[in-house]
Structure 1
Amino acid sequence: MYICGGVIPELTGRRVRLRAMAAGDAEALFGIWCHPRVAPWLDAPPLSSATEAEALIALLLQMAREEESLRWSILGPEGKVIGSCGYNYWQLEGAYRGEIGFELSPAAMGQGYMREAMELMLDFGFGSMGLNRIEALCHPDNIRAEKLITRLGFRQEGLLRQYRHTASGYQDVRMYSLLQGEKVRG
């Protein structure tokens, strides 16, 4: 369908480019995924090295080949990795929905890069993947993420109590969704 022969499509915007993750992204992504302003919001165990990040990238690429997940590295204007985003999972028949995840280097925050990356990703999900509903789960204290997704038109649907278990215990998350045709531009 949209991942032809295991090839993850490249998406290009005005200032950012989304491309398949590569082993060479491990050092940059490790720095982002472990950064104290990013790590608390991830629904993943902490990584201890760039080697572990490289193994995670390999796993994500394998999951993409099996159409279980789809993750891109986000490249900024200079072509350097500044984050990642993608579909954690999706279901077509019977639901036509998917769940997204995203993170950005603190050095790149507040410059509109993630909004541009998200617009590319949402267009791909609604257009090429044929999704009708895109979901985002957000920790109630992650104000930056909530502002971004609501600016893109996502609506809060409710609080999922103790939805995730992390090293710090159970966490609540807020469920947001965006339906085909609701996305805001600009």
Structure 2
Amino acid sequence: MVPALSGERVELRVMTEDHAAALYDLWCHPEVAPWLDMPPLSSAADAEHLIGLLRQMAREEESLRWSIIGPEGDVIGSCGYNYWQLPGAYRGEIGCELSPPHWGQGYMQEALELVLDFGFGTMGLNRIEVLCHPDNVRAQRLFSALGFRREGLLREYRHTSSGFQDVILYALLCSEARR
């Protein structure tokens, strides 16, 4: 269902209830939460419930999310496919977040390289997209470094608690991916 993927320094594993406390801390972190397209969580129990929903969506092949396990064996983030469509499109959309103490060390780039290889190689995707908040410069640099191309601004694409929000669409084609 959700295969483990291993890199040199990170491993992507299926999310479990054991990851709830670390993911709650991540998803509620003041430097991470503003970039997430999800309602705020109020407890680790909410994170555990969300993990259950994500696992159910993986069973139904609607979404695919991993916990990112760092070199010390702890949960340092999450990433995966928010959705994908094969017939007629062969495309998917990814999302990710990483704990701030681990920023700037290449962990997310390594994790996303695993996700991209899985998407293009195993899932058979031709196009992988990401939606990025215009103010999230760190994420924009990361996706550019991975070979994604900025395709445009989607005006008022999302509705959040603070109103409508623009996003930047980035995409990477299988023919452009480094493998």
Cα deviations across residues 33-83 of structure 1 (Å, max 9, x unaligned)?
A: 000110000000010100000000000000000000000000000110000
Instruction: Give me the whole-angstrom Cα distance separating, in 1, the residues matched to 2:175 and 2:114.
Output: 15
**Paired residue for 1:116?**
110
Q: Does 1:75 align with 2:57?
A: no
**Which amino acid letter does the alignment assign opposite residue 105 of structure 1?**
S
- Farther-moved stretch of structure 1 (76-85 vs 175-184): 175-184
Correspondence list, 1:3-152, <5 A: 7-152=1-146
Give the SS at the match of 2:176.
coil
Shift of 1:182: 1.0
Shift of 1:183: 2.1
Q: Does 1:167 align with 2:161?
A: yes
Instruction: Give me the whole-angstrom Cα distance separating, in 2, the residues matched to 1:182 and 1:42.
Output: 27
- Unaligned residue ranges in structure 2 (runs of 5+): none
Shift of 1:184: 4.0
- Which consecutive segments of 4 or more residues in structure 1 shift more than 3 A? none
Instruction: Give me the whole-angstrom Cα distance separating, in 2, the residues matched to 1:141 and 1:182.
Output: 26
Cα deviations across residues 63-122 of structure 1 (Å, max 9, x unaligned)?
A: 000000000000000110000000000000000000000000001111000000000000
Q: Is the 8 A contact 1:21 1:73 kept in 2?
A: yes
Give the SS at the match of 2:67.
strand
**Which amino acid letter does the alignment assign opposite residue 19 of structure 1?**
R
Shift of 1:181: 2.4
- Unaligned residue ranges in structure 1 (runs of 5+): 1-6
Instruction: Give me the whole-angstrom Cα distance separating, in 2, the residues matched to 1:144 and 1:61.
Output: 28
**TM-score, with normalisation over the residues of structure 1?**
0.95
**TM-score, with normalisation over the residues of structure 2?**
0.99
Instruction: Give me the whole-angstrom Cα distance separating, in 2, the residues matched to 1:173 and 1:184.
Output: 25
**Paired residue for 2:170?**
176
Q: Percent identity?
A: 72
Instruction: Give me the whole-angstrom Cα distance separating, in 1, the residues matched to 2:162 and 2:177.
Output: 34
Shift of 1:167: 1.1
Give the SS at the match of 1:128.
helix
